[in-house]
C-alpha cells in the first residue's frame, strides 16, 4: 500500500491558524494569569512557574497539579499527581486519534512540533479546517503557537500579582477559577439531555469527596461522567 501524501506545512497555514486563534486568546490568557497567581500562592518561584507553563501547556491539568503540590515530593505524591493529570488529559488520546487522518504522511518532526502545542482550541480549529477540505497542518501549529505564546506571557503577570497578595481569599481571588470555568460552560449549554453527564460527574465527585480522602473524587467524577455520556449516546 503506497504511503499517504505528505500534508502541507506552510508559513501561510501557520499565519492562518494564528489568526483563527486570536478570538480565543483573551480567555486563555485569563486562565494563564489565574494559574500564575495560584502557583505563586503555592510557593513556586517565577522561573519554575514559567517553565511549568512553557513545557506542560495544559491549563486544567496544571491547576490540578497545583492542588496536590507537595514540598518535598514523595513517591506516593508523584504517583498520585501522575494519575490525576493523566485522567484530566485522557481526552487527548481521543483527540489525537481523531486528528490522525489529518496528520497522515507528515514527518515525525512535524508531528512532534504540532502535537507539542496541541490543545482543545487548536484541535477544534484544525478539525474544522480539515473538514472544509484544508490540508495544511501549519494551521494547527499556528493556532497552537499563538495560544502557547499568550499562555506563557500571561503566566508572568499572574505570578507577580499572586506573589504580592498574602491572603487571596480576603479579596475573593480564590473564586477566579470557579467563575472562569462557569463562564466557559455557559456557551456549551445544548439542553438538559447533554448536560446529564455533567450532573452525574459533579454529583459523583461531591459524594466521593465526602467519603474518600484525598483527590480521588476527580477520577471518580471523570469516570462517572464518561460512563453516563457513553450510555446517553448509545441510547
For residue range 29-60, what is the model confidence (pLDDT) as tens digits? 888 888 898 898 888 999 999 999 999 998 87
Q: Over pLDDT 70: what percentage of the chain?
A: 86
Per-residue model confidence (pLDDT) at position 3: 61
* Dist. CA 37–CA 44, nearest whole Å: 10
For 112-142, write each residue's pLDDT tens digit. 999 999 988 899 888 889 888 888 999 999 9
Question: How confident is the model over 214-235, as a mean pLDDT?
Answer: 78
Q: Where are the beta strands (DSSP E) in the chain?
A: none
Question: How confident is the model over 154-183, as a mean pLDDT?
Answer: 70
Which is nearest to 36 in space by CA: 215, 177, 218? Answer: 177
Q: Is the pLDDT of residue 171 over 80?
A: no
Domain definitions of the chain by residue range = 11-188, 189-235
CA angle 147, 150, 153 (to 5 degrees): 150
Beta carbons of 110 and 136 less than 8 angstroms apart: no
* Dist. CA 196–CA 232, nearest whole Å: 8
Q: Is the pLDDT of residue 70 over 70?
A: yes
Amino acid at each position: 500500500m503506497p504511503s499517504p501524501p505528505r500534508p502541507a506545512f506552510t508559513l501561510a497555514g501557520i499565519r492562518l491558524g494564528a489568526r483563527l486563534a486570536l478570538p480565543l486568546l483573551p480567555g486563555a490568557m485569563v486562565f494563564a494569569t489565574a494559574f500564575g497567581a495560584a502557583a505563586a500562592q503555592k510557593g513556586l518561584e517565577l522561573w519554575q512557574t514559567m517553565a511549568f507553563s512553557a513545557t506542560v501547556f495544559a491549563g486544567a491539568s496544571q491547576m490540578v497539579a497545583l492542588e496536590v503540590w507537595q514540598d518535598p515530593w514523595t513517591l506516593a505524591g508523584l504517583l498520585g499527581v501522575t494519575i490525576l493529570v493523566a485522567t484530566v488529559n485522557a481526552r487527548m488520546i481521543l483527540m489525537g486519534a481523531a486528528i490522525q487522518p489529518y496528520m497522515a504522511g507528515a514527518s515525525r518532526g512535524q508531528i512532534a512540533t504540532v502535537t507539542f502545542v496541541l490543545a482543545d482550541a487548536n484541535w477544534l480549529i484544525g478539525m474544522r479546517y480539515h473538514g472544509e477540505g484544508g490540508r495544511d497542518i501549519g494551521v494547527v501549529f499556528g493556532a497552537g503557537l499563538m495560544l502557547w505564546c499568550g499562555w506563557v506571557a500571561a503566566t508572568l503577570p499572574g505570578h507577580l500579582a499572586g506573589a504580592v497578595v498574602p491572603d487571596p481569599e480576603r479579596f475573593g481571588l480564590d473564586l477566579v477559577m470557579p467563575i472562569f470555568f462557569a463562564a466557559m460552560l455557559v456557551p456549551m449549554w445544548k439542553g438538559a439531555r447533554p448536560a446529564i453527564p455533567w450532573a452525574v460527574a459533579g454529583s459523583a465527585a461531591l459524594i466521593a469527596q465526602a467519603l474518600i480522602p484525598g483527590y480521588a473524587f476527580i477520577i471518580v467524577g471523570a469516570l462517572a461522567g464518561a460512563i453516563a455520556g457513553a450510555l446517553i449516546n448509545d441510547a
